[in-house]
Homo-oligomer: A and B are copies of this chain.
Amino acid sequence: MHFPETFLNLSDERFVVHYQVLAANASEARTRTQGICLEQTVELPEALLGQDDLREKIIGRVEKLDEIAPGQYQAAISYAIETTAFEFTQFLNVIFGNTAMQTGIRVLRLDMPDSLLKEFPGPRFGQAGLRWLVGVDSRPLLCTALKPMGLSAEDLATLAQQIALGGVDIIKEDHGLTDQPFARFSDRVARCAEAIRRANSQTEYHCLYVPNITAPADQFFERAYEAKRRGAGGVMIAPGLVGWDAIRLLATDDACALPIFSHPAWLGTFVIDSDHGLSHQVVFGQLPRLAGADATIFVNYGGRFPFSQQDCRSIVFGATSALGSYPPIFPVPAGGMTLDRLRDMYHVYGSQVIFLIAGGLYAYGPDLAANARQFRRQVEALK
């Protein structure tokens, strides 16, 4: 059958997705790349399309296709910004929706025109805003995680107070603390916020409390508002668990207006196979920033996870390199870090970073406040 001839009044604005495509030869690479152009838009064989705007404007357009190593190609495909319906969910879908079910295709990088960037909120605080909130001008920021799951709200608050007294800038919760019967969200957030407030009044530091609001779809906003009401200084969300659009929505919400920390849970699968999925730069750098996170937590090289130093550098690039009028956001390397890694990490990340050390801080010595003081001393001494 023939589809009706279709002529569309679209802007000429397009965004570009850079893909790595594995193929035996140039001809197969062309076929696979053209397959992406169709799969991500009309989902029809090209032969069914007429000489109209479905073909000319709706399907993806191959802007570039280069062999970069034997059997490995890089394709730049552009899509009309209107295909996204200016929705973050559909934007993700155009990038990689069905193609995620193909082998040997990986999203490397996104290039977006201002016409599309302006449809998403971008980070409200970014690095500068977060620095202002914690009152730290130039050194790396210190962060730890409140844990473990299983402790009572009261016990967690005691730990939080000691950490804040020791001078850690940001206390985020473990992403596994949600609303378990042994430490209900409301009770926990009230107690921890109060404990940190008391500590701040003694130290004159501005320790920021960042509860985890990863939650069911109907409770997510409630928790954000409750966190705000109780005195939290930020919120943490795992977009892998609640969907990327939850960050986007929260970042646009003027009633919450707290810094947002993006957590990597459930997202590892996207990056782990270098022939497939999406790059570290996209998943932990570009996407959180586009959605409006102010800091992106990821697992550091050399800890208990297999990310390489190069992977981590690419995340920093995605989180901080020029992107329309969006501010840079903080990379937050974590996962099995210890105080004796700080100097090495400083050489890689420089000062525009949040060092998140959790298990290593608890394990450092018998007195948690003293451990936190030591963490701060070591970071202040970095140069």
Q: What is the interface of chain A, defined by CB distance below 8 A to chain B?
A: 1-4, 6, 8, 10, 35, 40-45, 47-49, 53-54, 57-58, 82-83, 85, 87-90, 92-94, 96-103, 145, 147-152, 155, 158, 174-176, 178-182, 214-219, 238, 240-243, 245-246, 248-249, 264-270, 272-273, 276-278, 299, 304-307, 335, 358-359, 362-363, 365-368, 371
Contacts and interface: CB of A to CB of B under 8 A. Distances in A.
Task: Please state the number of chain copies in the assembly.
Answer: 2
A83 B44 contact: no
B272 A145 contact: no
B4 A217 contact: no
Contact of A44 (B148, B182, B238, B305): B148
Contacts of A242: 89, 243, 245
A147 B43 contact: yes
Given A89-B241, A216-B88, A266-B92, A148 B58 contact: yes
Contacts of A48: 359, 362-363
Contacts of A306: 101-103
A219 B249 CA distance: 11
Contacts of A248: 216-217
A243 B268 contact: no
A38 to B, nearest CB: 9
B101 A264 contact: yes
Nearest to A271: B101
B178 A87 contact: yes
B4 A155 contact: yes
- Which of A43, A176, A241 has the largest number of chain B CB atoms within 10 A? A176
A140 to B, nearest CB: 22
Contacts of A217: 217, 243, 245-246, 248-249
